[in-house]
Amino acid sequence: MRDYKKLDIWKIAVDLNKLVYEITRGFPKDEVYGLTSQIRRASVSISSNIAEGCGRRTSKDFVQFLHNASGSLKEVGSQLVLAKELEYVLDDDFNKLNSMIIKLGNKLLSFIKYIESGVA
C-alpha cells in the first residue's frame, strides 16, 4: 500500500482542485448544476483516483486508476476550454490552469511508465 499524500502527482492534483474551485466561484449562478459542477467533479476525480489507486494491491490496478485520473484531467482541460470560450475564465486564470493541467499530465504519464517498467 502506497501513501498517496507523499506523491507529487497527488499534491499537484489537490492544488489543481483548489484552483478550479476558486475560479469556478466566479461562474454564472445558472451554471451551478452545469459546467461548475462538472468541472469540479472531474477535478476532484483526479486526486481521488490517485488516492484510490494507492490502496490497490497490484501495480496493474494502480496504473488503471492513474489512467482514470489522466482521463479526468483531460475532461477538466476540455471543460476549461469551454469555460474560456464562454468567457467565464479570464486569460490569466486559463493560462495558469492550463499550465497545471499540462504539468500534471506529463507527470502522470511519466509515473505510469515508471510503474509499468517494474521499478516501483
Please enumerate in sequence order all residues whose Cβ is within 8 A of that of 100, keeping only pairs 6 or more positions apart, or say none.
12, 15, 16, 19
**pLDDT computed for residue 60 by the predictor:** 94
Which residue stretches of the chain have pLDDT < 70? 1, 120
Residue 81 to residue 78: CA distance in whole angstroms: 5
CA distance 101 to 77: 7
Of 28, 12, 45, 43, the residue nearest 88 (C-alpha): 28
CATH number of the domain at 9, please.
Answer: 1.20.1440.60
What pLDDT score was predicted for residue 118?
Answer: 83
Owning domain of residue 78: 4-116
pLDDT of residue 40: 98
Question: Domain count of the chain?
Answer: 1
Rg (Cα) of the chain, in Å, rounded? 15
The three cell numbers of residue 22 are 476558486
pLDDT at residue 83, as a whole number: 97
